[in-house]
Amino acid sequence: MIKLYLLLLIIVTTSFDSKAKQCSVNFNYGVIIDPNHIRMTEKGITVVQINGESQLFVEGIQQTLSIEQQSLISQFSLGIRSQVPEIVSIAIEGVDIGLKAVNKAIGSLTGENSAAQQKIQTKFDELKWRIRTRFNQSANNYYIAPQDFNDFADIFTGEFEQEIEEIISDSIGTILLAVGEAMISDDSDSPGSEKRISTFDERIETMGKDLELEVSASTNALANKAEQFCLQLSELDKIEHEIQHSIKSLKRFNLIKTN
């Protein structure tokens, strides 16, 4: 069972650690988005706010903007509104890949829609809901803390890693119970008992190889998605540089930093 525990843990952590490791982009401020505003925050205080697409406030003072400056702010606003939800999508998808793999493993060992699988699925659903609410407080409302995106795993695993490991540990206990009951019902004292245990180990080996292939394909696709996200942020950083050059009051408020 230690082998099974390690297998499930590796599957989940692999799904976390395969995304955009070369994404050299930082957010220097927190970002809060709702349908009408974009706010950059520092220690809980709003330092820059965009109302609608082009009305700009810097430290609470509305800025008078030319048509060209309004156009730049509008481009930046639309870009932020597009990319911040993408961060949430990538984070949730990364979690989902690992948890689906674990759930599939449980189903293959205890039976699809078994009580064991349903028990773990409920915990997975609760975890994904909490991760989503970590970023997406309600419909069309998002919050991202100041952070870098060198490793997408750092966005959420620090907060949820222990809970994920506990779910996997509980999965092992649930599988043990289900398999033990199956062996008892098959008369585990019979001469075929050792053969059933050997067959169970073989199933774990085969299942592990199948899941590794499945997870690898999914994480490669997600890595491409994350790479595109990083490229889009880099392009948005160029627009921000234009804004800072044009609007002097924004010069010291640099949200996006690319290395």
pLDDT in tens, 94-129: 777 777 777 777 777 776 777 767 777 787 788 778
User: Of 56-60, 65-69, 229-233, 236-240, which range is least confident?
Assistant: 229-233
159 vs 43: which has the higher pLDDT: 43
Q: How far apart are CA 156 and CA 91, in angstroms?
A: 7
Decide: 171 and 102 in contact? Cβ < 8 Å: yes
pLDDT exceeds 90 at position 1: no
Q: How many CB atoms lie within 10 A of CB 15?
A: 25
Two structure tokens written together for 110: 């205890």
Let me know: does 170 contact 116? Beta carbons within 8 Å.
Answer: no
Q: What is the DSSP string of 182-230?
A: HHHHT-TTSTTHHHHHHHHHHHHHHHHHHHHHHHHHHHHHHHHHHHHHH
Q: What is the DSSP letter of 248?
A: G
Q: How far apart are CA 164 and CA 120, in angstroms?
A: 11
Radius of gyration of the chain (CA): 24
Q: Which long-range contacts (CB under 8 A, 24 or more apart) does 86-91 make?
A: 86/229, 86/232, 87/135, 87/144, 87/149, 87/155, 87/229, 88/132, 88/135, 88/136, 88/142, 90/19, 90/20, 90/152, 90/222, 90/225, 90/226, 90/229, 91/131, 91/135, 91/152, 91/155, 91/156
pLDDT grade for 148, boundaries at 50, 70 and 90: low
| pTM given for the model | 0.72
Whether 14 shows a pLDDT value over 70: the answer reads no
Could you tell me which of 25, 24, 15 has the C-alpha nearest to residue 90?
15
Q: Residues 167-183: pLDDT tens digits? A: 777 766 766 666 666 55
Q: Which residue has the higher pLDDT, 186 or 199?
A: 199
Q: Give mean pLDDT, residues 90-96.
A: 76
Q: Residue 19's pLDDT is what? A: 46
- Give CA–CA dist 78/63, Å, rounded: 19
Least reliable range by pLDDT among 15-29, 36-50, 99-113, 211-225: 15-29
When pLDDT is averaged across residues 46-68 and rounded to a whole number, the result is 95
What is the pLDDT, as a whole number, of residue 124?
A: 78
- Looking at residue 219, its pLDDT comes to 74
pLDDT tens-digit profile of 205-255?
A: 776 676 667 677 777 777 788 888 888 989 999 999 999 999 999 999 999
* For residues 73-93, average pLDDT: 87
